[in-house]
Amino acid sequence: MHEFTLTPENVAILNTNKGLRALLSREPYNLERAVRYVKYEKRLKKLQIELIRLQTWAINENERIIIIFEGRDAAGKGGAIRRATERMNPRLIKKLALPKPTEDEKTQWYFQRYVNQFPKGGEIVFFDRSWYNRAVVEPVNGFCTQAEYDIFMNQINDFERMITESGIHLVKIYMSISKKEQAKRFEDIKNNPLKQWKMTPVDEKAQELWDVYTDYKNKMFEKTAHSAVSWKIIRANRKTIARVNAINHILKSIPYDKNLEI
């Protein structure tokens, strides 16, 4: 464990309104955590300005962008998407966490319901879980057959090649947490009346099926190693760092005009 040093810079941070709020918002009081959070908020604001610049470029140039977040239950996908999008123009953003397929959708080509949500010119679509449900979540929980899984794995690289060849920018982020951290987050959710709705039957089995999930996740990475778009694996045990790293990756992945005035 490193020792926290109360430098003049850190004292100045704690003496601001933001610093005092960060310090007093959570017990037991922790000086280091408060300083770290204020620095995170400052960094996040700069990144959100860049995301606005990215969106302005996309609107001006009629660009289409898809950003998918994958990862285990409670990995922080939704929180990262919220931080990325909270300052952007909501009229040209879609944030999607699609429910289970309808009876009609079950009869369609698997990718069809995702393609129906693809962006028009100037639009950015964020998927909180995507077509990769069929690579991991569905087989782990018995929601698809072996044949359906095999077809998906055979088609996935061609599907993403078609997406990128059509001019859509695709970014793939995988939020990775430890088994211990997932268990801790589930416990926090269960004990918080404002968050209990987040727990699903799939979540309840996540710890029990941890190793099975790991096997399918590794198969997914292996199969898509030569896909048109590489995965960015974000270590997500600390949410604030994970959010900053995820946004940084988005900004680095898309060739927007960094000098654009907004």
Structural domains in the chain, sorted by start: 61-253 (3.40.50.300)
* Average pLDDT for the chain: 93
Output the pTM of the full model. 0.90
Please tell me the predicted confidence (pLDDT) of residue 33: 75
State the alpha helices, DSSP H only, in the chain: 8-14, 17-24, 31-61, 77-85, 103-106, 112-115, 137-141, 146-165, 179-190, 201-204, 210-223, 239-253
Per-residue pLDDT reduced to its tens digit, 105-123: 999 999 999 999 999 999 9
Please tell me the predicted confidence (pLDDT) of residue 5: 78
For 57-68, what is the mean pLDDT?
A: 98
Q: Rounded CA gap, 89 and 55, in Å?
A: 8
Per-residue pLDDT reduced to its tens digit, 8-29: 777 666 767 776 677 677 778 7
Please tell me the predicted confidence (pLDDT) of residue 20: 64
DSSP state of 238: S
Per-residue pLDDT reduced to its tens digit, 149-191: 999 999 999 999 999 999 999 999 999 999 999 999 999 999 9
